[in-house]
Amino acid sequence: SAAEKGGYDYFMLKEIAEQPKAVADTLLGRIGTDGRLTLDELRMPDRMLREIDKVVIVACGTAFHAGMIAKYAIEHWTRMPCEVELASEFRYRDPILDQRTLVVAISQSGETMDTLMALRHAREQGSKVLAICNTNGSTIPRESDAVLYTHAGPEVAVASTKAFLTQVVACYLVALYLGQVRGTKWGDEITGVIRELSEISTQVGQVLETMEPVRALARSLKDKNTVLFLGRHVGYPVALEGALKLKELAYMHAEGFAAGELKHGPIALIEQDLPVVVVVPSPRGRSVLHDKIVSNIQEIRARGARTIVIAEEGDEAVVPYADHIIRIPRTPVLLQPLVATVPLQVFACELATARGNEVDQPRNLAKSVTVE
């Protein structure tokens, strides 16, 4: 009913709008007044967390993209190797797992069969499994050694939005906590990031207030057949997520690429007026990546692409090559996905509506896939 949708036309719109609260709720009670993390709910003694020598993330769909983003943060803050694998592939390749491997299973529903089978396989090999889950008491957390719940609240739309943002936040909490417990050399940085993480929900709210031009742009592209998405570093999984949302909702051909791969193939796809969305890393921080992606934008535009650029406030270097600019607030490098994904959700939702598609219940998809 309309009341259930909180006045929005679709659950997806409501859930997109709820993201600042979902993010804030997922942080709530987990950051102490001294700026240190308390994750007692992990029920894993610090001694055990110090003995871990590898993290393996398993997930499907949108949750897999959250895991891809988490890999950058986990490796950076913990200096432990981190692998991310599609749950459906994981156990069929005979993965190397032992008691010192922490397996993180990410799932909104907690019922995805592929993810469940992957975690069962990991536990059989003696690994500890931590679930990151949005649904209290569901199967995946029940079968795991520990669980860190995301507090997104119920997600009804098939295409995941607020759950995704909170999965990234929860993964970051785990990464920062591991860093804190293991005392990596990033101690000062970790304290700073925890502070900045606590401000990120406000920034997500700011993005939501500036989405009208994104909607207008989406409507103008409703008769296109293909949209490409480019990103690198943590912007690469954001590009994959933008493409997945468009496939799921608009039934369009959409592909995400790592921008560095452009010259190894995707550039052959560029033709006149092809919309290409580019997620631009901050010019601060890893500025080398910023400069490289600006030259990618230049290259594809020279070949006639219509460039849609997602760039940080104040990044003027992209302006000459952008047909459309979507501005996002300045954030630390690793936090950018939390703001950069939001316009892509709005874009896909609006394009789907413009094409007359059912936004909350896309054809052929299920909210939770309980078969292998």
Looking at beta carbons, which residue is closest to ligand G6P?
61
Rule CB under 6 A: say whether 341 interacts with ligand G6P: no
Under the binding rule (CB under 6 A), the answer on residue 115 touching ligand G6P is yes
- Residue 107 or residue 296: which is nearer to ligand G6P going by CB? 107
> Is 109:367 a contact under the CB 8 Å cutoff?
yes
Q: Which of 169, 97, 151, 104 is nearest to 130 (CA)?
A: 104
Rounded Cα–Cα distance for residues 233 and 250 (Å) = 26
x/- letters, 217..256, toward ligand G6P (CB under 6 A): ----------------------------------------
Cβ–Cβ < 8 Å for 79, 177 = no
Question: What is the DSSP secondary structure assignment for residue 282, as one 8-state letter?
Answer: P
Q: Binding residue for ligand G6P (CB under 6 A) from 13, 39, 80, 159?
A: 159
CA distance linking residue 29 with residue 129, whole number of Å: 23
Cβ of residue 368: shortest distance to ligand G6P, in angstroms?
5
Place of tokens 């000062």: 188
Residues marked active site are found at 367
Least distance (Å) between residue 364 CB and ligand G6P: 10
- In the complex with ligand G6P, the residue whose CB is nearer, 69 or 259, is 69
Give me the 70-109 binding string for ligand G6P, x by CB under 6 A, dash otherwise: -------------------------------------xxx
CB nearer to ligand G6P: pick between 131 and 175: 131
Site membership for ligand G6P, residue 160 (CB under 6 A): yes
**Can residue 112 be called a binding residue for ligand G6P (CB under 6 A)?**
yes
317 binds ligand G6P per the rule CB under 6 A = no
Tokens of 323: 């047909």
Helices of type H across the chain: 11-17, 19-27, 46-51, 61-78, 87-90, 113-124, 139-142, 162-182, 187-197, 200-208, 212-220, 235-250, 287-302, 336-354
Residue 113 touches ligand G6P, criterion: CB under 6 A: no
Considering the rule CB under 6 A, would residue 349 count as an interface residue with ligand G6P?
no
In sequence order, what are the beta bridge partners of 56?
A: 83, 103
Instruction: Report, in angstroms and rounded to the nearest whole number, the Rg of the chain calculated over CA atoms.
Output: 20
Determine, following the binding rule CB under 6 A, whether residue 201 of this chain makes contact with ligand G6P. no
- Do 226 and 253 contact (CB within 8 A), yes or no? yes
The yes or no reply on residue 365 touching ligand G6P (CB under 6 A) is: yes
Which residues of this protein are in contact with ligand G6P, per CB under 6 A? 60-63, 107-109, 112, 115, 158-160, 365, 367-369
